[in-house]
Amino acid sequence: MNRIAVAIVHGVEIADPAFAAEPARLLRRSFAAELGLSPLDADNALVIEPVYWAPHIEGRQRELFAKMYGDDAGTFFDDHLEGVVKSVNAGSAASMARLLASLMRRTRPELRTLHYPTARWLMLHFVGDIIAYDRKLNEENYVAAHHVLAQALAVLADKAGDRAPLCVLAHSFGSVLVSDYVYDQQEALRGRELVPDAVRAVMGTSPLARGETLAWLYTMGSPLALWSLRNPDASLDRPIDFPGVEIAGRGSRLRSEWVNFCDRDDVIAYPLRPLGPDYARQVTMDRPVAVRGPWPVFATPLVHPFYWTDPQVIDAIGGSLAAGWRHLNPD
């Protein structure tokens, strides 16, 4: 059996080691249903690996919050709110309601300094991750995030094969991480060395780990358009070449695609094809979706975390991977 390697990359969110459990389960289920496979066969066909990069740049965020609210506040938020967010990631409507109530709470008796502590906590994680990642500001954090991605891709190469077709599901700022990682690899092929030594050591010579077998890319809730503002002319230099060089010759037969899922109510998400003619050529589709999410957030900007668990998103991906798998395993 020829396998498909799948990397699931989170965005700027609260630390949750199990963030990929639900999307992986839903993706396997959709893939199996499309092909009429048993759950065991689907597990063997799709080799899925989470890319959990948040812990490598969140230490200083915790330190900052403790300075503002005291050490006891850090314990409160770690024990209470992170548990709520993990449930939200799994699609819990009740947990989303609890989080919204906490966001609207102006003061807490145990946190007597700045108001709206939960909103500040979320802002620290969302904005703090972006600031911490910028290579121009902090090379160490950039390398750490890319190192985690390289490790995950190396694991996939070991399990699925060095030249297995690669599918990447990248949410929110994770799409920026993936784009930067692949961009650095492709620039190296052009003679411009951008890949950090620590990352190169982890990925070795594996074409999959270098992103050269990238056959399907699904960005969801992506702020790549906003990220372009870091450049002086407010445009990305150019998008990554898609599909990867190892797939380019057979991409049409595999039905390779780069689909950017974008909910019109999600203020973090933007289309990619309007960024310029190069993006219009590389991105197969900006696909508008109405992310369902729990009832308190439907049709609001707070749908942003719920692409992972939306059936129309996951089923579309599962169907495309099933078509690719049929080509890889014609018998």
Task: Please indicate, yes or no, whether residues 247 and 213 belong to a single structural domain of this protein.
Answer: yes
User: What is the pLDDT at residue 2?
Assistant: 92
Residue pair 20/181 in contact (Cβ under 8 Å)? The answer is no
Give the count of domains, the chain: 2
CB 167 within 8 A of CB 4: yes
β-strand pairing of 285-289 with 214-220: unpaired
Nearest 10 degrees: CA dihedral of 84, 304, 222, 20?
40
Q: Are residues 182 and 47 in the same domain?
A: yes
Determine the Cα–Cα distance for residues 121 and 125; give it in Å rounded to an integer: 7
Q: Is the dihedral of CA 125, 131, 134, 137 positive or negative?
A: negative
Choose one of 130, 156, 190: the last residue of a domain: 130
Q: Indicate whether 103 and 187 sit together in one domain.
A: no
Q: Please state, as a whole number, how many other Cβ atoms lie within 10 Å of the Cβ of residue 13.
A: 22
DSSP annotation of 248 reads: T
| Residue 141 identity | N
Please tell me the predicted confidence (pLDDT) of residue 31.
97
Q: What is the CATH number of the domain that holds 168?
A: 3.40.50
Q: How far apart are CA 328 and CA 280, in angstroms?
A: 28
Same structural domain for residues 71 and 183? no
State residue 76's pLDDT score. Answer: 67
**What ranges make up the beta strands (E) of 203-280?**
214-220, 257-263
Q: Are residues 74 and 220 in the same domain?
A: no
- 229 and 143 in a single domain? The answer is yes
Looking at residue 33, its pLDDT comes to: 96
Q: Are residues 79 and 47 in the same domain?
A: no
Query: Angle CA(124)–CA(129)–CA(17) in degrees, nearest 5?
Result: 95
Query: What is the chain's pLDDT, residue by residue, as a tens digit (331 residues)?
Result: 899 999 999 987 666 788 899 999 999 999 999 999 998 999 999 999 999 988 776 666 777 777 777 766 666 666 677 777 777 766 666 777 788 888 888 887 777 778 888 888 777 777 777 777 777 777 888 899 999 999 999 999 999 999 999 999 999 999 999 999 999 999 888 888 888 899 999 988 899 999 999 999 999 999 998 887 766 554 455 789 999 999 987 656 788 999 999 999 999 999 999 988 999 999 999 999 999 877 777 788 888 888 988 999 999 999 999 999 999 998 7
Nearest to 328 by CA among 243, 248, 255: 255
| Calpha distance 238→318 (Å, rounded) | 29
Tally of CB atoms within 10 A around 124: 17
- Residues 76 and 53 reside in one and the same domain: no
Q: What is the pLDDT of residue 234?
A: 45
- Which residues constitute the domain of residue 228? 4-57+138-328
Domain boundary among 107, 130, 153: 130
Interatomic CA distance for residues 83 and 295, integer angstroms: 20
Q: Which helix (H) or strand (E) holds 89?
A: helix 82-89
Where among 130, 159, 185 does a domain terminate?
130
Verify that 286 and 180 share a domain, yes or no: yes
Q: Are residues 275 and 253 in the same domain?
A: yes
Q: Are residues 44 and 181 in the same domain?
A: yes
Q: State the CB neighbour count (10 A cutoff) for residue 192.
A: 10
Same domain? For 111 and 27 the reply is no
Instruction: Phi first, then psi: give them for residue 286, nearest 5 degrees.
Output: -90, 105
**Residue 262 pairs with which residues in a beta bridge?**
288
Question: Is 227:178 a contact under the CB 8 Å cutoff?
Answer: no
